[in-house]
Amino acid sequence: MLIIGAGLAGQRAALAAAEAGASVAIVSKVHPVRSHSVAAAGGINAALNPEDTWESHAFDTVKGSDYLGDQDAIEIMCREAPDELLWLEHAGVTFHRNETGHLGTRAFGGASAARTYYVADITGHALLHVLYEQLMKHHEQIDSYEEWFTTDLLQDEEGRCTGAICRNLRDGALEVFNAKAAILATGGCGQAYEPTTNGLIVTGDGIAQAYRIGAKLMDMEMVQYHPTTLAGNGLLITEGARGEGAWLLNAKGERFMEKYAPNKLELASRDVVSRAEQTEINEGRGFPDGTVALDVTKVPRRRTLEALREIVNIGRDFAGVDITREPIRIRPGNHYIMGGVKTDSDGQTTIPGLYAAGEVACVSVHGGNRLGANSLLDTLIFGRRSGEHAAARALKMPMPSTPASRISDTEKHIAAIMNRPQSGRRIGAIKQELGATMNEYAAVFRDEKGLKKAHEIVRRLKDEATKAAIDDRGSVFNQDVIAAIELGYMLDVAETIVVAAIERKESRGAQWRTDYPGRNDEKWLKHIDISVNGADVPLVSYSPVTITRWQPEERTY
C-alpha cells in the first residue's frame, strides 16, 4: 500500500495497515515530524469522562456543522473517540493530568462539556512524535520515503488507482510507486489564502491530484476562519486560550460576544465568533488596524504559563505583547478546510483503490463548520479506518504494474517548467495575488459579485502560472520546481472553493452570503460535489446529507 502524507492521518493509517498485515510505503515531502499536524495546539476531543456521552459529542458536532455534517460518520467518530484517546495514551502521549491524577480536560468552542484532552498547547507535537516512534517500531513493514514529493496519481484502464509518481527531492529522480491501494493524507490547502495559520507546505496537493483524475470533492465552499489569529502574519492563538477563560473585547472595551452568543460567549462555534468579530470590525468598533482584542489576563497568570506557554511565546515574539499582562490584537484568519476529497466512512473515494483521510478528505464530519479539537480526532479515526480498509483490499489483490514509461509525461512537464523563458511573472507574486484574492472575496462574508470576481482572477492566474519562470534549474532540492507544481494545485483548489461558494445560495456554517442571509434547508440541505468536466472547468453536482437522529433546528449559542 502507498500512503501519501505522513502527518497524523498518514501515520495512523500506516500503523493500522501494518497491523492488518499489509506492507506499506509512506511518502512525505518533508520529514514526517515536520508535517503540519505538529502545529496543532489546543487538543483533541473525546467523550471519555464517565459523565459525558458520545451522543452529546455527536450532537454538538452536528450542530457545529450547521446540520451539513453526515450524521452516520459523525456517530462513528464520536463513538470511537474514547478508545482512540486511550490508545494514544498507552502509546505514550503525555496528556495533561488533573489534581486527582486523572486525564484532565479543557473547554472548547461549541461543546456542551469540557471534553478536550491536551498536552499544554503543543498537542499536535506530542501526538506526532509518539506516532513516529510507533512507525519506527514497525519498520519491517513500513518503508518511509522522507522528502519525496508525489506529483501525480496513477490509474489503470478501468480507472482504478494503482499508485503514484514521486520525485526524490534530494536528487530529482522520478519513480513509479505501484500500489494495490493508495491513501491520500496530504493535509489541507491553507496556503491558497494569505494570511493563513497554515505552514508553507500546506498547498492542497492531494485535493488537486484527486480532482485531476476525476475524484469528487465535497463541501469545498466551507473554509474555516479561526477567530484568533495575529493580524499580518496569521499566526494562531489557540482556542485553548478562550477555553481557559480569555475574553474578546472590542475597541470600546465591550465584551461583545454577549450580543451574539449570550450563553456560550467566547466559546460559541468558530463561524459564529469569527462573524461576530468581523461585524464589530466592519461596523467601526474594532481597532484601526482591523482587529479586536483577546484578553488572556482573565486567566490566572500561573495557569497561562503552565497551559498556554506557546502562545505566551508567540505573543512576545511576534506581537511584542506579554499576554499575561495585557490584551493582544487578533482577527479572524484562514485556518482549515471542511471540504476535501469525498469519502465514505472507510476513507474510500469515488475512485476505486484511492482512499483519503485527514484534512485532505471530506467524510463529512465537519459539514459547514468544524468544532475546535475535532480535526485531530478526524485524522486519527478515519486515518485508522482507511488503513484497515485499504489493507484488507490490498491483501486480496494482485500487484498492479504501471509501465515505467508513464513517467515520461511527468518528466516532460517538469522539463517544461525548468525551460520557461524568464519573462513570466514570479511564482511568489502569483501566489500572493491568489492568497489576497481569496482572503478578500472567499472569507468570512461573501457575495456573488465578489466571488465571481475571485473566479475571474483565479482563471487569469491559472493562465499566468503556466508561464511563470523559475530560477533554479538544478536537480538537488529544487524547491523552485516544487513551488511551481504546488502553485498549480492551489489554483485548482481555489477554483473549486469559489465555484462551490457561488453555487450555494444561502448562509450556512462558514459560508455566509450577504446576498443570501439565512439558512435555507428546503433548497440547500445538501452537499455540493465538484468534479472535473474534462475541460478544466469544475462540474457541480449534489449529494444528500445523511441524517440519522438529529433533525435540523435553529442554531443558537
Ligand X SMILES: Cc1cc2nc3c(=O)[nH]c(=O)nc-3n(C[C@H](O)[C@H](O)[C@H](O)COP(=O)(O)OP(=O)(O)OC[C@H]3O[C@@H](n4cnc5c(N)ncnc54)[C@H](O)[C@@H]3O)c2cc1C
Nearer to ligand X, 170 or 325 (CB): 170
Residues 117-176 that bind ligand X (CB under 6 A): 123-124, 149-150
Nearer to ligand X, 27 or 458 (CB): 27
375 contacts 338 by C-beta, under 8 angstroms: no
* Interaction of residue 333 with ligand X, rule CB under 6 A: no
How far is C-alpha 309 from the chain's CA centre?
A: 24
* Interaction of residue 359 with ligand X, rule CB under 6 A: yes
Among 1, 2, 3, 6, binds ligand X (CB under 6 A): 6
The stretch among 2-10, 14-22, 69-77, 217-225 that binds ligand X (CB under 6 A) is 2-10
Burial (CB count <10 Å: 0-12, 13-18, 19+), residue 43? buried
Among 1, 3, 7, 77, binds ligand X (CB under 6 A): 7
How is residue 448 written as a grid cell? 456573488
* Interaction of residue 47 with ligand X, rule CB under 6 A: no
What's the min distance (Å) between Cβ of 315 and ligand X?
A: 15
* Interaction of residue 228 with ligand X, rule CB under 6 A: no
Among 25, 28, 222, 353, binds ligand X (CB under 6 A): 28
Among 1, 3, 8, 502, binds ligand X (CB under 6 A): 8
SS (H, E, C) 131-179: HHHHHHHCCCCEEEEECEEEEEEEECCCCCEEEEEEEECCCCCEEEEEC
Please identify which of the residues 106, 270, 384, 393 carries the catalytic annotation.
270
Cα atoms in the Cβ-side hemisphere of radius 13 Å centred on 118: 28
- For residue 142, the cross-strand partners are 24
What's the min distance (Å) between Cβ of 525 and ligand X?
A: 25
How is residue 12 written as a grid cell? 495512523
Euclidean distance between the first and the last CA atom of the chain, given in angstroms as a whole number: 44
- Distance of CA 268 to CAs 64, 101, 227, 229, Å? 9, 29, 11, 17
- Distance of CA 416 to CAs 148, 411, 466, 467, 475, Å? 20, 9, 10, 10, 14
- Give the DSSP letter of residue 425: -
* Interaction of residue 42 with ligand X, rule CB under 6 A: yes
224 contacts 444 by C-beta, under 8 angstroms: no
The stretch among 22-30, 134-142, 338-346, 385-393 that binds ligand X (CB under 6 A) is 22-30
Nearer to ligand X, 261 or 341 (CB): 341
* Interaction of residue 501 with ligand X, rule CB under 6 A: no
The stretch among 37-45, 251-259, 276-284, 512-520 that binds ligand X (CB under 6 A) is 37-45
91 contacts 134 by C-beta, under 8 angstroms: yes
The stretch among 1-9, 392-400, 446-454, 523-531 that binds ligand X (CB under 6 A) is 1-9
What's the min distance (Å) between Cβ of 180 and ligand X?
A: 19
List of residues 6+ apart from 109 with CB closer than 8 A: 239, 242, 243, 264, 266, 267, 268, 269, 270, 273, 371, 372
* Interaction of residue 60 with ligand X, rule CB under 6 A: no
d(CA 103, CA 183): 32
Binding mask 74-93 for ligand X (x = CB under 6 A): --------------------
Among 373, 390, 491, 501, binds ligand X (CB under 6 A): 373
Among 286, 358, 435, 488, binds ligand X (CB under 6 A): 358
382 contacts 8 by C-beta, under 8 angstroms: no
Within 10 angstroms of residue 328's Cβ, the number of other Cβ atoms is 26
* Interaction of residue 41 with ligand X, rule CB under 6 A: yes
d(CA 70, CA 220): 15
Q: Let me know if 275 is a catalytic residue.
A: no
d(CA 294, CA 323): 9
The stretch among 57-65, 374-382, 492-500, 543-551 that binds ligand X (CB under 6 A) is 374-382
Residues 232-261 that bind ligand X (CB under 6 A): 236
Residues 179-208 that bind ligand X (CB under 6 A): 185-188, 197-198, 201-202, 205
* Interaction of residue 39 with ligand X, rule CB under 6 A: yes
d(CA 537, CA 211): 11
Q: What residues are annotated to the active site?
A: 270
- In the complex, the residues that contact ligand X under the rule CB under 6 A are 4-10, 27-30, 32, 35-37, 39-44, 123-124, 149-150, 185-188, 197-198, 201-202, 205, 236, 336, 358-360, 373-376, 379
